């Protein structure tokens, strides 16, 4: 892990990591490593949770596949699998019964972003490139 990534994930001792993050109507709970809508838990697998947690960290901003591979999978190369797309599809399938699959959007330039007005984002992406 390079120091830039390490500094973001392991901040100075005076900074606390939040227990909760919002991804639209989904509340992500770091303690339980799961998401819920109202009192309905979504049963995310660990990597599904990590992908959504990472995207919610910068809701509305594009996170590239490469950034997700580095931050979530902790690898700095392109694997020969479509693992990121598979995890995104699994997350969407868990959100679909609640009508929320659209909060996890695919960016036209590649990557993904949280597209949800409840998180303070105006249904349009903010490009961070």
* Separation of alpha carbons 117 and 124, rounded Å: 9
Reported as a single tens digit per residue, the pLDDT across 58-114 is: 999 999 999 999 999 999 888 888 999 999 999 999 999 999 999 999 999 999 999
* CATH code for the part of the protein at 17-119: 1.10.10.10
Q: What is the helix (H) or strand (E) element at residue 12, kind and residue range?
A: none
Angle separating helix axes 83-95 and 46-57, nearest 10 degrees: 90
16 or 84: which carries more pLDDT confidence?
84
- The answer to whether the Cα torsion of 67, 68, 72, 76 is positive or negative is negative
Is residue 104 within 8 Å of residue 92, measured between CB atoms?
Answer: yes
pTM: 0.80
User: Do 122 and 113 touch, CB atoms closer than 8 A?
Assistant: no
């Amino acid at each position: 892990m390079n120091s830039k990534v390490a500094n973001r994930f392991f901040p100075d001792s005076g900074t606390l990591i939040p227990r909760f993050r919002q991804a639209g109507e989904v509340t992500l709970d770091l303690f339980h490593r799961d998401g819920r809508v109202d009192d309905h838990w979504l049963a995310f697998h660990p990597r599904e949770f990590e992908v959504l947690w990472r995207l919610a960290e910068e809701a509305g901003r594009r996170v590239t596949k490469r950034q997700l591979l580095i931050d979530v999978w902790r690898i700095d190369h392109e694997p020969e699998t479509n693992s990121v797309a598979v995890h995104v599809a699994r997350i969407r399938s868990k959100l679909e019964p609640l009508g929320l699959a659209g909060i996890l959007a695919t960016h036209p330039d590649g990557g993904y972003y949280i597209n949800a007005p409840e998180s303070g984002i105006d249904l349009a992406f903010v490009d961070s490139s």
